[in-house]
Amino acid sequence: MTRSTHKPPERVAVVGAGMVGLSTAWFLQDAGVEVTVLERSAVAAGSSWGNAGWLTNSLAAPLPDPSVLKFGIRAVLSPSSPIYVPPTADPRTLRWLARFARNCTSARWNKAMQGMLPLIRDALPAFDALEAGGVAARTRAADPLTAAFPSARDSKGLLEEFAHLEASGRPVDFEILDGADARNSEPALNDAITRVVRFRGERFIDPARYVRAIADSLRARGGRIVEGVEVQEVRSTRSGVTVAGEEYDSVVLAHGAWINRLARQVGVKQIVQAGRGYSFTAEVDQLPQGPIYFPGQKVACTPIGDRLRIAGTMEFRDVGAPGDPRRMRSLVSQARALLRGAHIDDRQDEWVGARPCTADGLPLIGAGNDPRVHVAGGHGMWGVFLGPVSGRLLAEEIVTGHRPAALSAVDPLR
């Protein structure tokens, strides 16, 4: 019998105070590790702030699927398209786009889905563990989550996806309503809607509030969060890893779409591309019972407090580029056409955020070529949903030295 020589780290730095970084830090702390979180801006200031906040087993899937290519070149070059690729000469972005397109096949999507399934299956229990451990925020039941369509034909793609999910072991509990029943099922829907698909068993959150609650719990248990620190270098030494002038036993890189430069230092060749989304909030005459999704337009609506957050679009652009007002105007126009009783002219909280997307649709979770430097990122649209389970599993690997089987497909060195 051989005895493991792995020594659990005593002090770990986590770069990034979004859902992924703070969840990783929280579960490390839960295992007895002293944690410091370093954040370039502020807690929940990035993609964890303005997204839809959906925790959905039924819709979580790898981004590069065959339907993306159906938009065509002309469509993706249009600023009003749900998926927009601005003209660029940046070689790294062009390489990423070429790899992304190669992954938009049924075979590669199915392979990526199988790799993502273990994370999806354990995603909600990870939220339950946070709340049982002292995080004050709570998930909310989406009762129901409604997908809305102008016609029955428009729902064909979603229903086919549900059939694929059932074949892969993920049955979806849903019902279909047509005509007046569809329109009356949700007062916020426009009269043009003639079919809805309602599914249950999903949840949602106010993402910024939830992430801040994780930060509060971390601090209350003795953790340290340092805001306004942009990490320029991770330097390995014989005794540890130096980050922002301090030495730690290990470091976790979890800073979203900014992860490329530091991850390359530890051998990560996968490119993380910013897939930017836009959102705003508006008052509505009657808040929906739960989230609403318009799949044809890629628009997601979530009750946040007493307002409705309206989010959408996927824009592959440089992470530091300013927001494109044409994209916000397009989202506003779509919201007018899809919703009833929404006071769009009085909108607030306009936001653009960079989702960290990989070309194969799978996140990057695990150690780089230095076993003391770990990566947790590249979750695309699902960083809020998969952040806690990713953090829980990565913390287990860091503390025990054993890689959980659920992380087999998301090796950052793949």
CATH of the domain at 292: 3.50.50.60
Average pLDDT over residues 323-341: 95
The string over 351-389, giving b where at least 16 C-beta atoms fall within 10 Å of a residue's C-beta and e elsewhere, is bbbbbbbbbbbbbbbbbbeeebbbbbbbbbbbbbbbbbb
pLDDT at 47: 87
pLDDT at 198 over 50: yes
| 283 shares a domain with 263 | yes
Query: What is the average pLDDT across 391-407?
Result: 98
CB 227: neighbour CB atoms within 10 A?
Answer: 14
Q: Does residue 102 surpass a pLDDT of 80?
A: yes
Flag whether 413 is in a domain: no
Residue 70 located in a structural domain: yes
Joined together, the tokens standing for residue 153 give 């034909």
The reply to whether 168 and 45 lie within a common domain is no
- Give the end of a domain, one of 157, 176, 200: 200
Over the stretch 176-188, which tens digit does the pLDDT of each residue have?
999 999 989 999 9
If asked whether residues 223 and 364 sit together in one domain, one would say: yes
| pLDDT computed for residue 6 by the predictor | 87
Number of Cβ atoms within 10 Å of the Cβ of 396: 18
Judged on CB neighbours under 10 Å (0-12, 13-18, 19+), 300 is buried
Name every residue whose Cβ is closer than 8 Å to that of residue 403 and which is 6 or more positions away in sequence.
Answer: 366, 397
CB count in 10 Å sphere of residue 92: 12
- Banded model confidence at residue 232, pLDDT cuts 50, 70, 90: very high
The total domain count for the chain is 2
Distance of CA 40 to the CA centre of its chain: 19
Average pLDDT estimate for 366-389: 97
Residue 74 in this model has a pLDDT that exceeds 60 = no
**Residue 134 near residue 220, CB atoms below 8 Å:** yes
Percentage, residues of the chain above pLDDT 90: 83
Residue 165 has pLDDT above 90, yes or no: no
In whole numbers, what is the pLDDT of the chain averaged over residues? 93
Mean pLDDT of 266-295: 96
Strand-pairing partners, residue 174, are 199
Distance between CA atoms of residues 272 and 93, nearest Å = 9
Indicate if the pLDDT at residue 248 is higher than 90: yes
Domain-located, residue 188:
yes
Q: Same domain, yes or no, for 121 and 177?
A: no
Residue 75: per-residue pLDDT: 60
Q: Give the side-chain half-sphere CA count within 13 A for 306.
A: 1
When pLDDT is cut at 50, 70 and 90, the band that residue 164 belongs to is confident
Residue 271: per-residue pLDDT: 96
Q: How confident is the model at residue 39 (pLDDT cuts 50, 70, 90)?
A: very high
Q: What is the pLDDT of residue 167?
A: 80
* Domain contains 358: yes
Q: Are both 378 and 334 inside the same structural domain?
A: yes
Task: State which of 200, 215, 233 marks the end of a domain.
Answer: 200
What pLDDT score was predicted for residue 78? 79
Of 75 and 414, the one with more pLDDT: 414
Residue 130 — φ and ψ, nearest 5°? -60, -45
**Same structural domain for residues 90 and 185?**
no
Is pLDDT at 77 greater than 90 in this prediction? no
**Can you tell me the mean pLDDT for 363-379?**
98
Residue 362 falls within a domain, yes or no? yes
pLDDT tens per residue across span 104-154: 998 999 999 999 999 999 999 999 999 999 999 999 999 899 999 999 999
Least confident of 117-126, 162-171, 358-367: 162-171
| pLDDT attached to residue 71 | 62
Residue with more model confidence, 87 or 2:
87
Q: Provide the pairing of β-strand 307-316 with 195-199.
A: unpaired
Q: Is the pLDDT of residue 2 over 50?
A: no
Q: Which residue has the higher pLDDT, 100 or 90?
A: 100
pLDDT bin (cut points 50, 70, 90) of residue 73 is low
Residues 186 and 46 in one domain: no
Distance, in Å, from the CA atom of 176 to the CA atom of 154, rounded to the nearest integer, reads 13
Is residue 333 located within the same domain as residue 387? yes
Task: Let me know if residue 99 belongs to a domain.
Answer: yes
Domain that holds residue 150: 145-200
Residue 1 belongs to a domain: no
pLDDT at 46: 87
**pLDDT > 70: what percent of the chain?**
97
Please check whether residues 166 and 82 belong to one and the same domain: no
Q: Which of 132-146, 167-181, 249-263 has the lowest mean pLDDT?
A: 167-181
Tell whether 228 and 361 lie within a shared domain: yes
Same domain, 51 and 186: no
Do 78 and 16 have their domain in common? Answer: yes
pLDDT of residue 48: 87
Given this model, what pLDDT does residue 72 score? 58
Main-chain phi, psi angles of 108, to 5 degrees:
-70, -35
Residue 49: inside a domain, yes or no?
yes
At residue 88, the pLDDT reads 78
Choosing from 135, 169, 200, the residue where a domain stops is 200
